Chains A and B, each alone.
Chain A
Amino acid sequence: MYPPLPNPTVTPSAPKLSDKNLVRRSASSVPAAEPMTQVAKLIDVSKCIGCKACQTACLEWNNLREEVGVNTGTYDNPHDLTTATWTLMRFTEWVNPQTQNLEWLIRKDGCMHCADPGCLKACPSPGAIVQYSNGIVDFVKENCIGCGYCVKGCPFNIPRISKTEGKAYKCTLCSDRVAVGQGPACAKACPTQAIVFGPKEDMKKHADERIKDLQSRGFKNAGLYDPPGVGGTHVMYVLHHADQPQLYANLPKDPTISPIVEIWKGMTKYAGLAVMGAVAAVGLLHHIVAGPNRVSPEDEEAAKRLAERGQ
């Protein structure tokens, strides 16, 4: 068992997460960040009992209210992530073809806090998305313009845009709690330690133990989900079927930032300005070299003769 984070002291302490810790800031640059220990949330899917305490804790800590929905025949409630539901239990019923066992695969969905965040890369508004040196990717509401570019950049389909506020929302990894030495609210609430939080290296070690345990129980393909295509993530899963992550409500097997987004936010951005600048420069140069194209008095005379002749 990984030791749970201790309760906070009652004496107030200064937050340890500030602009000095920014490694990336959307549509702008930042000076070298003060380094911090890389943190991670480890979600052990095999330990999850689907109680949704994490969902409730998330709503409670972040003061969110979800609308009352309808039942469509699954346990997913609500049916998708929303601007109020930053984490969601997704339930999948799967018959294992090897054992003929019905397996209930429950995955806590939410922001993965990618080391190479597609949302941040796509964001056009300076400082609306930031990445801290401890790995947390956070949205800064006052800088968000609600354009939805982050939705296009995200390989996991996580951000949601509020219809009423026109702002993007997602899991913050409880950056406000982590800033004062606490763990995320969901990890705090989890009754089975399916969610644990700590330094990323510790989380990997803890995951190793869990994977060995699962493998000894017959889950040969048990493994860690820390996809390298996005530089690794600061939310990781222990999966009993790590060879088939898509079983878990379509968790992508090899997520990467879409090449379309890479082209849009890479080459196009620079080539576009260059092309427009070049066209304008050619025009200016042409005017300097060729001079204006003026109507001559002879042209006016010819027009006059034509108009008088009437043909």
Chain B
Amino acid sequence: MSNSEIDPGDAVHPGNPVTVDRYTAAARVNHWITAISLVLLALSGLALFHPSLFFLTVFFGGGEWTRTIHPWLGVVLFVSFLGLFFRFWKLNLWKREDGTWLARVRDVVAGHEEKLPEVGKYNAGQKLVFWSMSLLILVLITSGIVIWDQYFGPYFTITQKRVAVLVHAVTAVIAISVWIVHVYAAIWVRGTIGAMTSGQVTGGWAWRHHRKWLRNLVAKH
């Protein structure tokens, strides 16, 4: 059993039920800063994306404030996500069982987890969310800087800005879609949200969804 399969803060507490520490307080705070900034970014971005959503600017103090705040929220998200990236990247590296898990995606959506391979702290779906978000946020901050006229206007040509604004819009649509998948998975798989609120999940949750991770944690004791 290699320690690379678990994070330093992860631990099992025997009891009834067994509880498992999944996220440290720092990781949770980091996650929620990212989450809040992402939601605000989506709302302010969508306001300028489609005229029917322009009313969302009222939550930011009008159109001008929406335009002003949005890029700064992007900076907050980028820095915050960078924190998450360095926390989580190692356990999100692709493993052999991830291919098998993904090949049986029909059993995943049907909830037949007994037919799936045992997985570590993250399954292939979570890993895909992690890596796609990493890539999408990188594209969003890069294209966002190109169209942040207030500070970077003179450094780019109009053609570059046209390409950037299109890339930014398309990437944001994909990122919001990935975010919907992420939120839905957390709701669908009951017992998951506690991992990001209290930091803990039950032993049964870990047994059912991340058995290899649980085995590694028990073995560590």
Contacts and interface: CB of A to CB of B under 8 A. Distances in A.
Contact of A125 (B54, B162, B215): B54
A147 B48 contact: yes
B204 A303 contact: yes
B214 A303 contact: yes
A208 B159 CA distance: 35
A258 B184 CA distance: 38
Interface string A289-301: 0111111110111
A273 interface: yes
Given A272-B50, A302-B204, A146 B67 contact: yes
Contacts of A291: 111
Contacts of B68: 166
A306 interface: yes
A10 interface: no
A308 B161 CA distance: 60
A299 B67 contact: no
A310 B64 contact: no
A145 interface: yes
A27 interface: yes
A124 B208 contact: no
A6 B109 CA distance: 77
A303 B162 contact: no
Interface in B144-161: 147, 149-150, 153, 158-159, 161
A60 B12 CA distance: 78
Contacts of A126: 51, 54
A276 B176 contact: yes
B51 A258 contact: no
Interface string B164-188: 0110011001101100110010011
Interface of A: 27-28, 124-126, 143, 145-149, 151-152, 157, 161, 163, 166, 258, 260-261, 263-264, 268-269, 271-273, 275-276, 279-280, 283, 286-287, 290-297, 299-304, 306-311
Given A27-B54, A147-B48, A286-B188, 10 more contacts: A124-B54, A264-B166, A269-B49, A279-B177, A283-B188, A290-B109, A295-B190, A295-B202, A301-B204, A303-B18
